[in-house]
Amino acid sequence: MKHLDGLTPPDGWSEGRTRSLWYPSDIAARVELQEQARAEGKTLAFVITWTETGELIGVTGYARMEPPGTPGRKAELGIITDVDLISSRGWKLLGTEGLHAASKYAFEELDGVEEITLVTQQQNEEMRGWSEKVAGLTPRLTVEEWGHVAWYGYTREQWEVKGGVRDRLEAKLERLKSSPALA
């Protein structure tokens, strides 16, 4: 949650509480709201686990999706990982795999998704690095909300075109998977 400090627990911040310190009950309430939104088709989540141990290390997916049938339907992609559980190289592989899988699913399986957006704080070097260096995106907009926020996006065409976002991610995955440090 370190890069989501503008996110408020469902019941808000009670008086005398440290802002940005989420209690287990806050997470449980958020999960309940997310489950309801998923049941209504407004969000979609993918769980990221270590295959060897089954340990949960993160979630990726769509925090918001426009309804099917919306012209130019957009879906907002995000990823949350426990960076304490994974090395920086592991983050690169697992984060890239998670975002690749979520993007592929949106464009190939979800009805009419035409654009994926990502919103992150400027200080979130991991997400900004993935967006800019790996996927080749540039911020479309930066705003002063929740700190300094950068907004990215890519269309189905940018995903599918030769040398586009999908090709860049798949090339990065191949480099990471063949790295001796991951063996």
- Give the CATH number for residue 98: 3.40.630.30
Contact 145, 179 (CB under 8 A): no
45 is a domain residue:
yes
What is the length of the chain? 183
Structure tokens at 145: 């909300």
pLDDT tens for the 183 residues of the chain, in order = 555 556 677 787 778 777 777 788 887 887 788 788 878 878 888 877 777 777 777 788 898 899 888 999 999 998 777 666 656 556 677 778 888 999 999 999 988 999 999 888 778 887 888 889 888 898 887 776 556 788 899 999 999 999 999 999 999 999 988 876 654
In the prediction, which pLDDT does 120 show?
83
The Cα–Cα gap between 40 and 32 comes to 13
Domain of 77 in residue numbering reads as 41-182
Inter-CA distances, 18 with 13, 45, 145, 174, Å: 8, 28, 19, 42
Spatial distance between the Cα atoms of 65 and 146, rounded to a whole number of angstroms: 21
Residue 26 lies in a domain: no
d(CA 154, CA 138) in angstroms, rounded, equals 10
Which residues are within 8 A (CB) of 11 and not within 5 positions of it... i.e. 6 or more apart? 26, 29
The per-residue pLDDT for 29 is 83
How many domains does the structure of the chain reveal?
1
What pLDDT does residue 170 have? 95
Q: What is the Cα–Cα distance from 6 to 9, expressed in whole angstroms?
A: 10
| 66 found inside a domain | yes
Specify whether the CB–CB gap between 147 and 108 falls below 8 A.
no
Alpha-carbon span 67 to 55, nearest angstrom:
33
The whole-number pLDDT of residue 88 equals 53
